[in-house]
Chains A and B, each alone.
Chain A
Amino acid sequence: MVNEFIDGIIEAFVLLFSFDLEVWGIILLSLRVSGTAIFVATLVSLPIGSFIALRGFRGKKALTNLINTFMGFPPVVMGLLIFLLLSKSGPLGSLGLLYSPTAMIAAQLFLAIPIIIGTSKAAIESINPDLKETILNLGANERQLWWELIKESKKSIIAGILVAFGQAISEVGAVMIVGGNIRWNTRTFTTSIVLQTRMGEFGMAMALGLILIIITFSLNYILTHLQMRDK
C-alpha cells in the first residue's frame, strides 16, 4: 500500500514534468469547461442577483427561497436533467450536444448560476442602506447605483465566484453523466481520477489529484486573503 502511494507520487511528477499530452489535455479541458461555465454564469447571475437585492417586488421572498434551495442542488440530478434534455429523444436532442464539452459546460453553468446569484444578492443586501441612499441622493441613476454597489461589494462577489468555480471543477457526477468521460474529448480531472483508480493506474490519478488539490488550495488561499483584507 505504502509502496503504491510512493510509486504513484513519483509517476505523477514524471507525467506532469514530461508534459504528457493526455494529462495536460485533461487539465486544460477541465479548466476550459469550468472557466467558461463560471464566466457565463457570472454574466448571467450578477445582474439577476443585484436586481433581486435592489428591487422590492411581489414574490421576492419565494424567489429567494428558491435560489437558496438551488444553491444546494445535487449535481448528479442536474447531470440527469441535462442528459434528458440533450439525449437523442429529448427536446434538445437534435443539437447533438450530448457527450460534448458543451454539455458539461451547460451542467456546470446551471449549478453555478444559483450560487453566484445567491452570493451576489447577499453581498449587495449587506451594504449599509444609508450608503445606497447617499449614492442616490448624490444623483446616481439606477445603473450608476448598481455599478457603485457592485464595486462596493466586489470582494464578497469575487469570493462567491471562486466558490462556484471550486465546486464546478471538483464536481464528478454531472460531468460524468453528460460528458461520458470520453478519452481525449470529455475526460476531466474528476472523471479521469475515478476511472484510473478503478483500473489501478494510481500514477495518473495521483498526478491529476495533485493538480486539482493545488487549484482548490490556491482558490481557498485567495478566498481567505480576500476575507482577511476585508477586516
Chain B
Amino acid sequence: MNLLEVQNISKDFLKNDDSLQNVLSDISFTVKKGECFTIIGPNGSGKTTLLRILGLVENPTDGKILYLGKEMTNLSRKEKTKFRRRISFVRQKPVVMNSSVEKNIAYGLKVRGVEEREIQQKTKEIIKIVGLTGLEKKNARTLSGGEMQRVAIAMNFIIDPEIYLLDEVSANLDPKNISLLEEFITSIKEDRQKTIIMSTHDRMEAIKFADRIAVLNNGRFTQIGPPNEIFISPKDEFSALFVGYENIFPGIAEIDEKTGLNQVRINDIVITASSQVEGEVKVCIRPESIGIVKEPPKNTSYRNTFKGQIENIRDLGNICHVIVKCGPEKFLTTITQLSKEKLGLKKGTEVFINFKATDVKLL
C-alpha cells in the first residue's frame, strides 16, 4: 500500500477583496514508505501550501489525501491529532515558542506523554548533536537565525516520526548548518528508512536526496519522475529552464587501491571519477561535458569512453540535444548543430561518447 496518496487536490485562498486566488490545482501523486519525494519549483509556486496540506494544518479546497489508505480531509480533530503525530514538519522560516531551548526541543515528546526521564535524556542527546550545548536555558526567541533553525531541526527530529516534511529547509542556512542538515537527512533516509517529502528550489539538493522529483509550476505538477528522467527529458519549457539538464545515475563508488582511481559502478558500466567520495553516490555529468565521436578514440585524455547508439536528437536552434543509449543507461549530450552535421548523426547511428574524470561530480 502507498504510505501517502494525494488525489486531485486544489486550494483556493480567499483574498481580502473576496476574490479567490488559486494556489494549487489538480495535484495527484503517491509516496511509498521509505521514499524521498522532492517537490522542486520557484518561489510562489505553491510548495509551502502543499506541504501544509500534507501536514494536516490546512484543508484542501478539493480533493483527497490518504495516509495508509485513510482519508484525512474529513477526520475529527482528535483523529487528525493522532495522524499529525506521525508526521513532522520543518518549516522554511522556523518559529519557536517563548521558552527555553531545552523546553522547545522537548515539547514534541512532552505532548505525546513520553516519560520525563526519557525526554531529558533524548533532549540532552540531540542538543549535543545539533551543537546547541550551553544554550539549553536560553530563551529560544533570542537566538540567531541559524541557531533557531538548529532548534527547529532538533524539535522535529527528536520526535522521530514516520514521515518528514521538509519545506526548503536549507534556503536560509549558512554552509555549516546546511552540512549538519544534510547529515540529518541522510541519517533518516538511509539509516532509519523514513519517508521524506521535501520542497526545494535548489536542483543539487533535489538530485542528492530525491528518489522521485515533481516539478511544481503555478500550482500544477508539470512532471513527476525519477531525477534522471526529469533532468534528461524535461516535459516542457518551464522544466527545461528552471530545472536545467543533468545526467544523473545512482551508483556505488570504490577507489581502486592499485591505480588510486575512483571507480563508480552503475549497473553494467563503470565510470571513472576524480572525486574521492566512496559508497552509495549519485553521479552527475553535465551534458556539455560529454563529447561524441564516431570512431573509438585513441590516445585520449578522457578516462571515460562508452559505445552506444543514438536514441533521439532534439534540435534547439544552434545546438541540439543528443540522447545516446549505452546499454541500459541513457546519456544526454549537447553539441552544436554544425558538429552534428559534420558527423552526420542520425537516430540509430552508432557512436562513442567520452568525458573527463574531472567532469564527473559525485553527490
Contact = CB atoms under 8 A, between A and B. Distances in A.
Interface of A: 128, 130-131, 133-142, 144, 148, 151-152
Contacts of A148: 97
Interface string B79-95: 00100110111010111
B57 A137 contact: yes
Contacts of A144: 111
B159 interface: yes
A104 to B, nearest CB: 38
A128 B88 CA distance: 19
B165 to A, nearest CB: 8
B112 to A, nearest CB: 6
A142 B89 CA distance: 18
Interface in B319-357: none
Nearest to B99: A151
Contact of A130 (B78, B93, B108): B93
B111 A134 contact: no
A119 B354 CA distance: 72
B84 A137 contact: yes
A137 B84 CA distance: 6
A131 B91 CA distance: 11
Contacts of B112: 139
5 contacts: A134-B89, A136-B56, A138-B156, A142-B77, A152-B97
Nearest to B109: A139
Given A130-B91, A141-B81, 10 more contacts: A131-B97, A133-B57, A133-B89, A138-B107, A139-B112, A139-B159, A141-B78, A144-B111, A152-B97, A152-B98
Contact of B89 (A128, A131, A137, A141): A137
A138 B105 CA distance: 10
Interface in B33-84: 52, 55-57, 77-78, 81, 84
Contact of B95 (A131, A141, A142, A151): A131
A136 B111 CA distance: 10
B95 A137 contact: no
Contacts of A137: 55, 57, 84, 87-89
A86 B159 CA distance: 57
Contacts of B97: 131, 135, 148, 152
A136 B82 CA distance: 11
Contacts of A130: 91, 93, 95
B155 interface: yes
A133 B54 CA distance: 12
Contacts, number: 56
B57 A136 contact: yes
Contact of A139 (B78, B85, B95): B85
A58 to B, nearest CB: 15
A53 to B, nearest CB: 16
A192 B189 CA distance: 75
A138 B56 CA distance: 12
A141 B85 CA distance: 9
A128 B94 CA distance: 12
A134 B78 contact: no
Contacts of A152: 97-98
A187 to B, nearest CB: 44
B111 A139 contact: yes
Given A130-B91, A133-B57, A139 B98 contact: no
Given A133-B52, A133-B57, A138 B111 contact: yes
Contacts of B156: 138
A42 B78 CA distance: 27
A142 B79 CA distance: 11
B81 A134 contact: no
B60 to A, nearest CB: 15
Contact of A141 (B93, B94, B111): B111
Contacts of A135: 97, 107
A148 to B, nearest CB: 7
A159 to B, nearest CB: 16
A140 B110 CA distance: 9
Given A134-B91, A134-B95, A152-B97, A139 B108 contact: yes
Contacts of B84: 136-137, 139
Contacts of A139: 81, 84-85, 108, 111-112, 159
A202 to B, nearest CB: 49
B159 A138 contact: yes
B343 to A, nearest CB: 56
Contacts of A131: 95, 97
A51 to B, nearest CB: 13
A140 B156 CA distance: 13
Contacts of A133: 52, 55, 57, 89
Contacts of B159: 138-139
Contact of B155 (A138, A140, A151): A138
Given A131-B95, A152-B98, A140 B88 contact: no
A141 B88 CA distance: 14
Nearest to B112: A139
B235 to A, nearest CB: 33
Of residues A134, A135, A137, A141, which shows the largest number of chain B Cβ atoms within 10 Å of its Cβ? A137
A138 B78 contact: no
